[in-house]
């Protein structure tokens, strides 16, 4: 199977709620994750919700890393989408799980842009 990209979907449950509401900390976590996978950082956008929760994205040359947090549920959704073979998105998983204090993490990987004669039903 030949794919243009890899998309990791992290389900981080039972996290430390304090770090899930710390914009500066989460921004640094995503920056470090991008560096860990060998990505080239291009831009960023983060938003802090009231009364709690943060959404943020780090745009990389290879695609993006993003996070959405629900501190009140001790939950974070993290996406790591990379294109090409120059970076390894799985290298970001363990550090993010540890930094967010997730006691119940899981992730799945989706291949994106499957081209070699594959047809996917809509």
Catalytic pick among 15, 29, 83, 102:
83
Catalytic pick among 7, 29, 63, 102:
63
Place of tokens 């001790």: 74
**Is residue 45 classed exposed, middle or buried when 0-12, 13-18 and 19+ CB atoms within 10 A define those classes?**
exposed
Task: Answer yes or no: 63 catalytic.
Answer: yes
Question: CA torsion sign, 38 to 106 to 29 to 95?
Answer: negative
Joined together, the tokens standing for residue 120 give 């996917």
Task: Answer yes or no: 50 catalytic.
Answer: no
Task: Answer yes or no: 68 catalytic.
Answer: yes
State CA 75 to chain mean position distance. 13
For the annotated catalytic residues, the residue numbers are 63, 68, 83
């Amino acid at each position: 199977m030949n794919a243009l990209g890899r998309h990791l979907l992290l389900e981080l449950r039972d996290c430390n709620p304090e770090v899930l509401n710390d914009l500066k900390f989460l921004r640094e976590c995503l920056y470090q994750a991008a560096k860990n996978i060998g990505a080239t950082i291009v831009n960023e956008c983060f938003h802090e919700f009231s009364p709690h929760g943060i959404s943020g994205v780090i745009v990389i040359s290879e695609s993006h890393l993003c996070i959405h947090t629900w501190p009140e549920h001790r939950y974070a959704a993290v996406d790591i989408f990379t294109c090409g073979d120059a970076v390894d998105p799985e290298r970001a998983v363990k550090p993010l799980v540890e930094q967010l204090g997730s006691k119940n993490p899981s992730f799945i990987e989706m291949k994106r842009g499957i081209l070699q004669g594959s047809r996917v039903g809509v």
